Amino acid sequence: MGYKITIMENFILPFQSIGIGDVSQVGGKNASLGEMYQKLTPLGIAIPNGFAVSADAYRFFIIENDLGVGIQEELAQLDLEEFSNLKQVSTIIKKMILQGNMPERLANQIVEYYHDLSTQEGREIEVAVRSSATAEDLPGASFAGLHDSFLNIKGEDALIEKVRFCFASLYNARAIKYRHDKGFDKHDIALSVGIQLMVRADLACSGVTFSIDPASGFENVVLTTGCWGLGENIVQGAVIPDEFLVFKRSLGKGKRAILSKKLGSKAKTMVYSKKGGVVNLDTSIEKQRAWVLPDEEVELLAKWAVQIEEHYGVPMDIEWAKDGVSGQLFIVQARPETVHADKDRFSLKEFKLLEKGELLTTGFAIGNGISSGKIKILNSPTEADQLKEGEILLTEITNPDWDPIMKKAAAIITSKGGRTSHAAIVAREMGALAIVGAEDALQILKDGDYVTIDTSVGNTGRVYQGELKWKVTEHNFKGITLPKTKPMFIVADPDKAFNLSFFPNQGVGLLRMEFVITKNIGIHPMALVHYDQLENEEEKKQIDALCLAYRDKREYFIEKLTHAVATIAAAFYPKDVILRMSDFKTNEYSNLLGGKQFELAEENPMLGFRGASRYGHERYREGFRLECTAVKRVREDMGLDNLKVMIPFCRTPEEGRGVIKLMKEFGLKQGEKGLEIYVMAEIPSNVVLAEEFADIFDGFSIGSNDLTQLTLGVDRDSEVLSDLFDENNPAVKWMIAEVIRKVKSKGKKIGLCGQAPSDTPDFAEFLIAQRIDSISFNPDALIKGIENMIKAEKRK
């Protein structure tokens, strides 16, 4: 092994003297730390000081111990087909390095810089000793966790020993295999060691921040995860961490920027042991129920992430830690995000299950797709030979030793971990499907079970019983021209919003609040307003569990609704997102927790107490106040002024004026700060009196389903009458044409939400001939709808 080294006066490089151009000398990790310490500390970003033992120092160690030829000979013995002797080759090489003597010259320099750093701090310091390979932290190759690092090291002898251990970790079995897979095994790879002031996160918290959504690649958010104690629990996937999503544009405006918060179980806390090393303790119930960071520190980390991303010019994967002694936040590492670096933004695969199956378990979805196969439970990487190609790997957690095994699996399921765990990061990098944090998976799933896993629907991955059928549709949006008439989405699930934003679109024409309430809240708003009056003790217990972190149970509803709506508004910002205020029917409201006590039993709920009629009525007025409070927070506190609101099932102009007045009382004044209030056109009276409604509202959206039912007097869910439900019926088309004509004559906007324009080209042509402004589609119908709209406009 003919190493060429630069004979240096000094094998040590302090952080203040190195930058991103020094990867060949100090590796990717240390080069980034030096770059940030030099360039970003002046901006207020806290980086712990330290120094790097250079790659030439490693080469000097190898030469002085005459190890080059021996290492080369062992690598030459490696089975490059099956890697059957990988562990043996790794063990021999590491033993050679660990038995080598640290050259006196090098040891003296390491100790000298350690003492200098201690002098600056006024005490003998504890340090983190981190490996930093010269081919590490590059776009497309993260080398995540492949080399060894050591924390809380104190004293000369311990420091020198850990530097030698880092040198040896260059030949960890997982690192040798990874370099081969990535094509680095033919290069001169060396290892630098970073020695950095220790942040006492064991006494506080730590975690990972991405300057991009790592699941979808959506670039306008920052994702932070955190746990109590050392962040190794997050990387290993040993805990389900807290998760915070921050919108960059709100952050830049100085507005409230947190789009969502998810409380993780954080069942373990890793701390330093008095005997040396670390120990993983059970987290107290109080701390499991508490957020690891207050909102202002979440937003501070997000600001730092944006600054780091802007400095490097690429999305970043960042490690942070909070010192339990000083209370200060620090950035302890940053590397390029490796998964979405080369992603084709114009190409997208759409997956859809064609069959229904029994849902067995859920977790965090990693990757976008569907796969099926036989479950294989493994407890350790040593059982790798038991996994057959195409089986679904199920285990508790993974670490870098699992990497070669994960490539054989059709998909991966872990019972622990979050979206920034090792299993999640590696699965994304490999393009594999994974579900992590499926907490009951090992209790429910058995070895040999046939299952289907679906990670294509938002952030929640689902495991279904049996091998279900699915279809894949490939889209390529490159060069696509949007029609003049705006194609918009019908959306209900915030988890899908970031992925949907990549489709060609002009925003969201219908955001269904009631679906958000069902999925993200689950409690009747009046049951929260009048919690003390609840009669059902079992439902009270369920509500208590959901509202555990909230002193005022009404705040649970407001915050959950705020976060869900804000996420969708942020995904499409600055395009319009039109939120329809709640439009549950009484029988649907009754299904929410606490709902039966506050709802009427109606013979015909479709024509009953729903929509605008509810909002000012004493039975729901305070519930509507909660809805308006959430909207106000999204628009004003978070600065998402692309959000508009829409009133459903408004029977008369008088009712419309009453709702506008009530909304003003609740803090939403029409026209103030650009607020527009639309109305659904779904009742014949909306068509007959369209000019009067246009004097009250800023725009209209035709609800073609209800308008068709009410025009033809047909319940589309009736088995015996469903054939009569037809949006192409002349009476329905007259209604639609008439309301468009009247609304346009008043200079107001009008769109339509429904399936017909995607199913029937003729219907799309009819709407465009009437000069409709927009057509909104369900996500699976958007592309077909756009095709029909373009054809219609050409014919016109």
- Active centre residues (catalytic): 422, 753
DSSP 99-125: TSPPPHHHHHHHHHHHHHHHHHHTSPP
Residue 268 tokens read as 């373990």
Tell me the C-alpha distance between 86 and 398, whole Å: 19
Tell me the C-alpha distance between 552 and 401, whole Å: 47
Residue 544 tokens read as 């208590």
Residues 6+ apart with CB under 8 A from 111: 156, 159, 160
Tell me the C-alpha distance between 178 and 406, whole Å: 12
* Strand locations in 405-495 (E): 411-414, 434-436, 450-454, 460-465, 470-476, 486-491
**Does a cis peptide bond (omega within 30 degrees of 0) precede residue 574?**
yes
Residue 741, Cβ density class (10 Å: 0-12 exposed, 13-18 middle, ≥19 buried): middle
Q: Which of 419, 453, 77 is nearest to 225 (CA)?
A: 419
Q: Indicate the Cα dihedral angle 452, 453, 457, 459, nearest 10°.
A: 160
Q: Which of 263, 150, 278 is nearest to 203 (CA)?
A: 278
300-330: buried (b, 16+ CB within 10 Å) or exposed (e) per residue?
A: bbbbbbbbbbebbeebbbbbbbbbbeeeebb
Residue 49 tokens read as 């000081």
Tell me the C-alpha distance between 234 and 382, whole Å: 23
Tell me the C-alpha distance between 778 and 794, whole Å: 23
Residues 6+ apart with CB under 8 A from 76: none
Tell me the C-alpha distance between 793 and 796, whole Å: 5
Residue 669, Cβ density class (10 Å: 0-12 exposed, 13-18 middle, ≥19 buried): middle
Q: How far is CA 479 from CA 345, 346, 571, 793, in A?
A: 12, 9, 22, 18
Residue 359, Cβ density class (10 Å: 0-12 exposed, 13-18 middle, ≥19 buried): exposed
Tell me the C-alpha distance between 92 and 461, whole Å: 41
Collapse the DSSP code of 397 into the 3-class scheme (helix H, G, I; strand E, B; otherwise coil) and give the result. coil
Residue 494 tokens read as 């915030």
> 793: phi > 0 → left, psi -120 to 50 → alpha, else beta; which?
alpha
Tell me the C-alpha distance between 166 and 209, whole Å: 25
Question: What is the distance in angstroms between the CA of the first residue and the CA of the last residue of the chain?
Answer: 73
What 8-state DSSP symbol labels residue 198?
P
Q: Indicate the Cα dihedral angle 376, 379, 380, 383, nearest 10°.
A: -40
Residue 188 tokens read as 């001169």
Tell me the C-alpha distance between 683 and 708, whole Å: 9
Q: How far is CA 71 from CA 75, 83, 93, in A?
A: 6, 17, 6
Cα 452 to its chain centre, rounded Å, is 22
What size, in residues, is the chain? 796
Residue 332 tokens read as 């302890």
